[in-house]
Structure 1
């Protein structure tokens, strides 16, 4: 073949190299498991009754449809539990929690949960 004929096929060869391989295997690895702090499972996914059973009556109960925020406060920490219904007509469940010291600085959420449980048990 002459150099002219080879150069005419070069773009086709390059495009063919960019295509998918016929026998390529795609590894399907599952996503890494969602990691939650130990102790959060005591609150996340729970309903109002479970929170009251765990912590007692909330210090604040704020409703802003469709959400509801329950706040539990102690001398150790303040915990905000946010409840949202998982679907129309379903009971709201805790989907997120925030925790802070009474001074407003962040604190480990699981530690706050444990402190609030101990407070209720001591009563």
Structure 2
């Protein structure tokens, strides 16, 4: 086959120049690799979306956190009354609601809605100082002596000023 005289066969030129392709590969390869793993992917946060208006400023007093509750108060045993002087008893329970003298004894009574505590004070050996020698509790509803005494102590604490 012969070609017409006006048409000559030219070698085909590639659409993309190989030299440009090589240069582009050398430049772009490091850029592509640098984007692969030097920085970790950002993790989504669970923060609430910002509100439309800023939070209102507090104008009142700021309350402090509630302090831990104090340990449960330990009250003395009912038997501690035995041998106490009048001053010690008044310091513990306050003045009695009822007081009677029956020589050689004094009878003091403390009471609340639940029970009554009777103290029997007798003169000590020297005849001047009185001390608790006996005590009794009385109450309805099966209240124990310890519960009666503790209730009287708590009521006295609540009556104290300050």
Same fold (TM over 0.5): yes
Partners of 1:42 and 1:108 in 2: CA distance: 16
1:35-46 paired onto structure 2 within 5 Å: 39-46=77-84
Corresponding residue for residue 132 of structure 2: 94
Residue matched to 1:64: 102
1:115 corresponds to: 151
C-alpha contact 1:81 1:96 (8 A) present in aligned 2: yes
Give a deviation string over 1:58-95, Cα, whole Å, max 9, x none. 11100011100000011121000000123132411111
Stretches of structure 1 lacking an aligned partner (at least 5 in a row): 1-37
CA RMSD of aligned residues (A): 1.9
Counterpart CA distance in 2 for 1:62 and 1:106 is: 27
**Are the structure 2 counterparts of residues 106 and 96 from structure 1 closer, same or farther at C-alpha, using a change threshold of 3 Å?**
farther
Q: Which runs of 4+ in 1 moved over 3 A?
A: none
2:100 partner SS: strand
Q: Distance in 2 between matches of 1:62 and 1:42?
A: 22
**TM-score under structure 1 length normalisation:** 0.61
User: SS where residue 79 of structure 2 aligns?
Assistant: helix
- Could you tell me which runs of 5 or more consecutive residues in structure 2 were left unpaired when the two chains were aligned: 1-75
By percentage of residues, which structure has more helix?
1
- Counting matched residue pairs gives 84
